[in-house]
Structure 1
Amino acid sequence: MDQLGAMAMFVATADQGSFTRAAAHLGKTTSALTRAVTHLETELGTRLFERSTRRIALTEAGQIYLVNARQVLAQLQQAREDIDQLQQEMCGVLRVAAPPSFAPAFLNAVCCRFLERYPQMRLDIVLTDEFVDLLEGSYDLAVRDGPVELPGLIVRPLTANRILLCASPRYLQRKPLEVLPHTFDQHDWLIFRHPALHPHYWWLTHQGERQRIPQPVPRMTSDNYDFLFGALRAGLGLQFCPQWSAAPYIRRGELVQLLTDADLDPDQFGSTIHAIYPVHRRHTRKHQAFIECLSQYLDEQALH
Structure 2
Amino acid sequence: MDKLSVLTTFVTAAELGSFSRAAERLGKTPSAVTKAVAQLEAELGTRLFERTTRQMALTEAGHTYLEGTRQALMQLQIAGEEVEQLQQELRGRLRIISPPSFAPAFLREVCCRFMTEHPLVRLEVDLKEGSQDLIEGGYDLAVRDGPTDLPGLIAQPLLENRVVLCASPAYLARKGMEVTLDNIEQHDWLILRNPLLSRHYWWVELEGRNTRLRQPVPRLTSDDYDFLLACLLDGQGLQFVPTWSVAPYLARGELVEVRVNQWRVLSAFGPWIHAIFPPHCRNNRKVKAFIELLKAHVQESGRCAR
Instruction: Give TM-score, length-normalised by structure 2.
Output: 0.85
Aligned-residue sequence identity (percent) comes to 50
Q: Secondary structure at the match of 1:181?
A: coil
Q: Secondary structure at the match of 2:182?
A: helix
Offset of 1:10 from its aligned partner? Answer: 2.1
**2:45 is the counterpart of 1:37:** no
Offset of 1:148 from its aligned partner? Answer: 1.0
Question: Aligned residue for 1:89?
Answer: 89
Offset of 1:38 from its aligned partner? Answer: 3.0
Question: Deviations for 1:123-169, whole angstroms, at most 9, x for unmatched residues?
Answer: 10001112111232511110110121123211100011000000001
Instruction: Give TM-score, length-normalised by structure 1.
Output: 0.86
Contact 1:23-1:29 at 8 Å conserved across structures = no
Offset of 1:48 from its aligned partner? Answer: 1.9
Question: Aligned residue for 2:190?
Answer: 190
Offset of 1:213 from its aligned partner? Answer: 2.0
Q: Secondary structure at the match of 2:157?
A: strand
After alignment, is 225-234 or 205-214 more displaced? 205-214
Letter in 1 for 2:265: L
Q: Secondary structure at the match of 1:87?
A: coil
Question: Deviations for 1:49-83, whole angstroms, at most 9, x for unmatched residues?
Answer: 2246x687233644785577456435523532441
**2:232 is the counterpart of 1:228:** no
Q: Secondary structure at the match of 2:115?
A: helix
Aligned length: 296
Question: Aligned residue for 2:288?
Answer: 288
Question: Aligned residue for 1:122?
Answer: 122
> Structure 1's 291 and 58: CA in aligned 2 closer, same or farther, altered over 3 A?
same
CA distance in 2, matches of 1:131, 1:210: 26
> Structure 1's 282 and 13: CA in aligned 2 closer, same or farther, altered over 3 A?
closer
Contact 1:180-1:259 at 8 Å conserved across structures = no
Query: How do 1:249-264 residues align onto structure 2 when only pairs under 5 Å count?
Result: 249-259=249-259, 262-264=263-265
CA distance in 1, matches of 2:189, 2:274: 29
CA distance in 1, matches of 2:35, 2:246: 57
Contact 1:67-1:136 at 8 Å conserved across structures = no
Query: How do 1:244-283 residues align onto structure 2 when only pairs under 5 Å count?
Result: 244-259=244-259, 262-267=263-268, 269-283=269-283
Contact 1:98-1:142 at 8 Å conserved across structures = yes
Unaligned runs of 5+ in 1: none
> Structure 1's 205 and 118: CA in aligned 2 closer, same or farther, altered over 3 A?
same
Letter in 1 for 2:57: L
Letter in 2 for 1:36: L
Q: Secondary structure at the match of 1:177?
A: coil
Letter in 2 for 1:280: H
Contact 1:81-1:92 at 8 Å conserved across structures = no
Query: How do 1:146-185 residues align onto structure 2 when only pairs under 5 Å count?
Result: 146-185=146-185
Offset of 1:264 from its aligned partner? Answer: 1.4
Question: Deviations for 1:158-215, whole angstroms, at most 9, x for unmatched residues?
Answer: 0110000000011111111112222111000000011111211112235656553211
Contact 1:141-1:276 at 8 Å conserved across structures = yes
Aligned alpha-carbon RMSD (Å) = 3.0
> Structure 1's 190 and 137: CA in aligned 2 closer, same or farther, altered over 3 A?
closer
Letter in 2 for 1:246: V
Question: Aligned residue for 1:237?
Answer: 237
Unaligned runs of 5+ in 2: none
Contact 1:97-1:128 at 8 Å conserved across structures = yes
Question: Aligned residue for 1:215?
Answer: 215
Q: Secondary structure at the match of 1:89?
A: coil
Question: Aligned residue for 2:56?
Answer: 57
Letter in 1 for 2:173: Q
